[in-house]
């Protein structure tokens, strides 16, 4: 086989390989927030159709602005804002190999690593006068989609606003 043919063959294999990877490889992303909300429309005013947990993986089927259309486990699909997702694979229960991989690569993130609940508890033990009561209360303030919609409509504001 002459070199020209070999080179052509190699290039063809590379091209076919890339196309196959593109076709098969719809991006898989991980939920990087505590509570991931999937909505019926690409808007925060869309009805919540599914709730995802930190580290859950989703298959992205489409994109509209900053919203990702993702497959749902049960059936159908829904929209989640891109800022709730990361391309990194979040490892919830990491072993030493995962730790090394995470250190070497941008592809993996370890849940519960570094500054975590354990570190916060240790900090609390060392600083007993610092009170977290109101921090916990703040986090429990939940504003519903309906409250938000009502607020926008009554205030003469833009219900379509937002990224």
Partner 1 sequence: MKKLYTQISSIQTNVSLFLGLMLIMGLPSLFTGCKSVESVTNVGSAIGVATGMLTDSQADSLKKTTIAVARSFQDITPEQEYYIGRTVGAVILEKYRPYTNKSALTYVNILGQTLAKASDQPETFGGYHFLILDSDEINAFAAPGGLIFLTRGMLSCCRNEDALAAVLAHEIGHVQSKHGLQAIKKSRITTALTTIGVEGTKTFAGEQLATLTQTFGESITDITKTLVNNGYSRELEQEADRSAILILERVGYNPNGLVDMLQEMNRRLKPGGLDFAKTHPAPIKRIENISSIIGPYTPVVEPKLRKFRFDRIIAKK
Give, as ranges, the residues between 56 and 95 that touch partner 1 (CB under 8 A): 66, 81, 83-84, 93-95
Nearer to partner 1, 75 or 158 (CB): 158
Q: What is the dihedral of CA 73, 76, 79, 82, to 10 degrees?
A: 40
Q: Is 115 in the site for partner 1 (CB under 8 A)?
A: yes
Please give the Cα distance from 85 to 80 (Å, whole number).
Answer: 8
Please give the Cα distance from 125 to 45 (Å, whole number).
Answer: 41
Burial-class residue 67 by CB neighbours within 10 Å (0-12, 13-18, 19+): buried
**What's the min distance (Å) between Cβ of 103 and partner 1?**
4
Q: Is 107 in the site for partner 1 (CB under 8 A)?
A: no
Number of residues this chain uses to bind partner 1 (CB under 8 A): 65
Sorted by sequence, the CB contacts under 8 Å of residue 19 that are 6+ apart come out as none
Q: Is 110 in the site for partner 1 (CB under 8 A)?
A: yes
- Single out the residue of 21, 22, 24, 158 in contact with partner 1 (rule: CB under 8 A): 158
Please give the Cα distance from 1 to 87 (Å, whole number).
Answer: 42
Count CB atoms within 10 A of the CB of residue 95.
Answer: 10
Q: Is 127 in the site for partner 1 (CB under 8 A)?
A: yes
**What's the min distance (Å) between Cβ of 110 and partner 1?**
6
Contact residues: partner 1, CB under 8 A:
2-4, 7, 32-36, 44, 54, 66, 81, 83-84, 93-100, 102-105, 109-120, 122-123, 126-127, 129-132, 134-135, 138-139, 141, 143, 147-148, 151-152, 154-158, 161-163
């Amino acid at each position: 086989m002459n070199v020209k043919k070999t080179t052509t063959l190699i290039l063809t294999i590379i091209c076919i390989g890339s196309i196959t990877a593109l076709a098969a490889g719809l991006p898989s992303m991980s939920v990087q927030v505590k509570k991931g909300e999937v909505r019926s429309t690409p808007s925060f005013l869309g009805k919540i159709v599914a709730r995802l947990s930190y580290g859950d993986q989703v298959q992205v089927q489409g994109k509209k602005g900053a919203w990702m259309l993702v497959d749902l486990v049960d059936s159908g699909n829904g929209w989640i804002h891109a800022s709730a997702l990361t391309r990194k694979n979040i490892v919830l229960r990491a072993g030493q190999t995962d730790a090394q991989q995470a250190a070497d690569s941008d592809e993996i993130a370890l849940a519960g690593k570094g500054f975590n609940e354990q570190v916060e508890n240790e900090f609390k033990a060392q600083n007993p006068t610092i009170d977290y009561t109101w921090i916990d209360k703040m986090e429990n303030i939940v504003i519903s989609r309906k409250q938000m919609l009502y607020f926008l409509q009554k205030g003469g504001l833009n219900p379509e606003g937002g990224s």
